[in-house]
């Protein structure tokens, strides 16, 4: 199907999907292993449980489920999808990228495909790029964010071991000629001065993998959790404020606030700083934990399952992740 570019104004989300593995890991299991007092994790993070993949499940396996749901919900011909963007920090392999395999498995035979490693902010970067592609090319784009972080957890690093989880979320964007649709405001930023706040030390060109590499060097670590907390609140708040200003949207007009599910204390501070209504908050962290880039589309898809998006809604999404990468998007529903 072709779309007349001269009439194209925006994109719209035609379908969403989400997937979480079946294995449910409770706080009690982790607290016992880490020597933490009962209730410690929930008090500090708001997390009660999270999902881990089972043996044999890989990144494209969980991404497939979310992408398939989004495609079915959108109901468009698969050959119409022009681009597949996979936001992940945990691909099937370091090489090749996983995006082409995902597109192949989904039957997207006319789609370009690429991975985007934007950490926890990866979905917002991919969404902004997808919206721009739809506007300029007039063709649908599938955005999938997925991570398997359970296999990157360092069990000795309490600050990260209690947080991370596995999940996938997806959104299928198609052209729209309706005003007030698509990305109305976006602010994408980075701060490399804090590059090492969240890291996997070995495996890249700075510290190549060798037979002598210590196993823990291949696992995630967060050496200064307090600094991560402070920068997350600061950057998510600033990006959110700028995105709303660009969109010309007041806080009271935000109908759904979908923050990265890093920590309930973080996104509550951001919500209050942005003066957003409490009723707008969309959260999945209690049951599903922090799956990095996947948390925003996963949470939004869950919200849409309960209450479909309505014309005129304004959705604010904001995130910060390793790098540091950060961003916010105001998305309008036609």
* Active site residue ranges: 120, 260, 290
- Enumerate the β-bridge partners of residue 234: none
Q: How far apart are CA 115 and CA 108, in angstroms?
A: 15
Beta sheet of 141-148, edge-to-edge order: 10-19, 166-176, 141-148, 83-87, 112-116
The string of DSSP codes covering 166-185 is EEEEEEEEEEE--TT-EEEE
Q: What is the CA radius of gyration of the chain?
A: 19
What residues contact 269, with CB distance under 8 A and at least 6 apart? 233, 237
What residues contact 158, with CB distance under 8 A and at least 6 apart? 34, 36
CB neighbours of residue 125 within 10 Å: 26
- Cβ density class 127-163: b for 16+ within 10 Å, e for less: bbbbbebbbeebbbbbbbbbbbbbbbbbeebbbbbbb
Burial of residue 37, with CB atoms counted within 10 A of its CB: 0-12 exposed, 13-18 middle, 19 or more buried? exposed
| DSSP β-ladder status, 10-19 and 256-259 | unpaired
In the three-class reduction of DSSP (H, G, I as helix; E, B as strand; rest coil), residue 272 is classed as: helix
Q: Is 307 left (phi over 0), alpha (psi -120 to 50) or beta?
A: beta
């Amino acid at each position: 199907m072709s779309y007349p570019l001269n009439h194209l104004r925006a994109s719209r989300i035609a379908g969403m999907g989400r997937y979480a593995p079946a294995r449910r890991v409770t706080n009690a299991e982790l607290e016992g292993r880490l020597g933490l007092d009962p209730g410690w994790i929930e008090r500090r993070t708001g997390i009660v449980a999270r999902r881990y993949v089972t043996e044999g499940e890989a990144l494209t396996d969980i991404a497939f489920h979310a992408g398939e749901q989004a495609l079915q919900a959108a109901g468009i011909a698969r050959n119409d999808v022009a681009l597949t963007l996979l936001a992940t920090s945990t691909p099937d392999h370091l090489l090749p990228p996983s995006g082409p395999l995902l597109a192949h498995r989904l039957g997207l035979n006319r789609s370009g495909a690429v991975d985007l490693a934007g950490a926890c902010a990866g979905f917002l970067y991919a969404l902004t790029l997808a919206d721009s592609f739809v506007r300029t090319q007039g063709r649908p784009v599938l955005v999938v964010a997925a991570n398997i972080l359970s296999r990157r957890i360092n069990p000795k690093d309490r600050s990260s071991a209690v947080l991370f989880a596995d999940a996938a979320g997806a959104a299928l964007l198609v052209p729209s000629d309706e005003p007030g649709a698509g990305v109305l405001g976006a602010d994408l930023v980075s701060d490399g001065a804090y590059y090492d706040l969240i890291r996997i030390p070995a495996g890249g060109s700075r510290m190549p993998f060798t037979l002598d590499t210590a196993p823990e060097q291949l696992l995630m670590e967060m050496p200064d959790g307090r600094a991560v907390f402070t920068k997350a609140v600061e950057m998510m708040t600033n990006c959110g404020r700028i995105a709303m200003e660009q969109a010309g949207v007041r806080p009271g007009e935000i109908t759904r606030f979908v923050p990265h599910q890093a920590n309930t204390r973080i996104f509550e501070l951001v919500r209050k700083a942005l003066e957003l209504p409490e009723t707008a908050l969309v959260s999945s962290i209690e049951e599903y934990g922090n799956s990095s880039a996947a948390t925003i589309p996963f949470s939004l898809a869950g919200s849409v399952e309960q209450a479909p998006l309505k014309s005129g809604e304004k959705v604010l999404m904001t995130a910060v992740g390793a790098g540091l990468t950060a961003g916010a998007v105001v998305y309008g529903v036609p």
